[in-house]
Amino acid sequence: MSFTTAPETPVHMLWHAKTILWILIYGEALALLLALSPASVAESKWLSMFFFSIIIQWILLTTLATLYLLRHWLKQLATVHVAHLSVSLLLLSTLLSSQIVWHFFPALATSQGGHSTATLQALLIALTTGCLGLVTLYNHWRLQQLSLRTKQAELDALRARVDPHFLFNSLNTAVALVHTQPDEAEQVLLDLSDLFRAALSGNDLHLLKREIELTRSYLKIENLRLGERLRVDWNQPETLPHRQIPALTLQTLVENAVRHGIEKMPGGGTIKVQVSQDGRALRLRVSNAIPLRPAKPSPTGHQVGIAATKARVEAITGGEGGLLTFIENGQYVSEIVLPHRAHYPE
């Protein structure tokens, strides 16, 4: 599953609010240019711009409305055929609109050299601006696709990255338990395989309940290794929200707390995990005491884990969610915020 919600084809971008807004602004810019041109016959440039604005926006909106009505059929066409159809509809709308204008305002056509000449000029303007607009839209779509694919590849590489520190420690723990506690050793390997299966599955989202199960599995492994040095305080509602969340995000925050907090403290410490929600968002908070002498972070440690999680949350939620990190009352706090209104890819 891809984390992106980008349009599959350039024509899908036409239904985005930002695209429609830019098309309308583009139309207003064209109206201004026509009003300022020497060929404008109106005594007032502002009146001329108002007149051109109404005509141009009408042409653009009727073309967009027609394309929207045909959107399901357009999915079956190649991009180049959609472009040809879009230009054809724009020209047809321009032709019909210009005939209506010439009918009610014949003086406008006469001032441009006659009915035929005025119509030809309108069609040439529509053809030129329409082609430029389509090229601009297509190039923007291509750049967006390339950017998203690059980011997806980077995030996939970070997500699939196997932390040798955790892997070796887990295997050593299992080996140490094989003879004395074979059942515990088996459980360590099962929990480890469960975690790696989730990390390598390619699924960007899963239920909050599943995320908590994986986080608890991780903590069970670390608890066997660290013993009483690792204490966990869970604070979660009895009935968990039935929510999809980015996979292995809470687990990453807990792992960060273990590696850069608990492991660095001789007496260990307590990791507090809080799951809560209000009217605006679901919040996943992890906090731990800060070591008196923080060790220099490793290349695969704090920065990579937090940065990758932050990027994934923002990407999957379309920028509406986020990851906050701060120090509060001597505790290092990481908090994932997932707004209820955030759009998640299907």
45 pLDDT more than 90: no
Q: Are residues 150 and 190 in the same domain?
A: no
Same domain, 219 and 279: yes
With a cut of 90, say whether residue 109 has pLDDT above it. no
What is the CATH classification number for the domain harbouring 254?
3.30.565.10
If asked whether residues 312 and 299 sit together in one domain, one would say yes
pLDDT at 3 over 60: no
Q: What pTM did the predictor assign?
A: 0.61
Q: Do 171 and 308 belong together in one domain?
A: yes
Co-location of 124 and 176 in the same domain = no
- Of 155 and 247, which is predicted with more confidence? 247
Q: Identify the pLDDT of residue 161.
A: 60
pLDDT higher at 23 or 152: 23
In tens, the pLDDT along 289-301 reads: 988 765 555 444 4
Average pLDDT, the chain: 83
CA distance 113 to 111: 6
102-106, 287-291, 298-302, 313-317: which has the minimum mean pLDDT?
298-302
Residue-wise pLDDT for 185-235, tens only, equals 898 899 888 888 887 776 778 999 999 999 999 999 999 889 999 999 999
**Continuous segment of H or E residues that includes residue 226:** helix 208-226
Domain coverage including residue 72: 10-158
